[in-house]
Structure 1
Amino acid sequence: MIDSRVPFRNALVPHEKIVHYLLDLAHPDGGSKAKFFIARGFRLEDPKALADALLDHVAANPVVSVRHGRYGAQLAVEGPMAMPDGTSRNVLSVWLHQETGDGVFVTAYPQS
């Protein structure tokens, strides 16, 4: 564990990542994630709620790994994330650290 906060100036969660991936039950890669997030109260009709929860998650939890790839550094952040159903679940989110200093959301995985 690196145990530091992300060095982003700004963090961005693209709308498409929420509505066409994390909350899309029919998505081949995101469908199982959609089941998890929808079961905990997130709704396709309110994608901003999940985007805001992911932004809170990345701001509050430590970076646990960094991987350098062809698109730049990918930072994995792990820790509790508040759910609309009143629970808190452990989530691993992945963010691309851009040259501008901004971070862009890539994906999120529920952890056991």
Structure 2
Amino acid sequence: MTGERPNVKNFALRDHKVTRFLLAPDRAANKGRAKFFIEFGFSLERPDILARALLQRPRTAHTFRYQTGTVSELRLIYDGFLESPDGRRAHIRTIWNYDAPPTALFITAFPLENLNR
């Protein structure tokens, strides 16, 4: 569903989402996401750079929508471009859990391949 953006005060990301998932090339469950982010210049040696970029994503995303799950669960979905260390812009989708306002907690990110440059 699309709609008005909720009044999210904070976006939070647990470090292990970056270090043990998004930038872990040997982790089969990440379905090539590590390869994608590494190709854009992000690295496991500096996971803070990807973490900071992901935390900025919801504030500048060009598309927003949400999904409801359980009674108390709201998923926020943001599509937009992520500025990368190599200067290119990676077109990605980020998904956040918003069941404990005012903070949205990062769930995952993945490429929207058709617009990556």
Equivalent residue, structure 2, for 1:23 = 23
For structure 1, the residue ranges without an aligned partner over 5 or more in a row are none
Q: What's the RMSD between the two structures over aligned residues?
A: 1.8
Summarize deviations over 1:69-95 as a string: whole Å, max 9, x none.
Answer: 236101110011101110012110000
Q: Secondary structure at the match of 1:57?
A: helix
Instruction: Output the TM-score relative to the length of structure 1.
Output: 0.89
Change (3 A) 1:80 1:100: same
Could you tell me the percent identity over the aligned residues?
29
For structure 2, the residue ranges without an aligned partner over 5 or more in a row are none
Q: Secondary structure at the match of 1:98?
A: strand
Summarize deviations over 1:24-64 as a string: whole Å, max 9, x none.
Answer: 01112215000000011101011110010001111111453
Structure 2 counterparts to residues 24-103 of structure 1, below 5 A: 24-70=24-70, 72-103=73-104
Change (3 A) 1:103 1:46: same
Amino acid corresponding to residue 18 of structure 1 in structure 2: V
Q: Figure out how many residues of one structure are paired with residues of the other and give that number.
A: 112
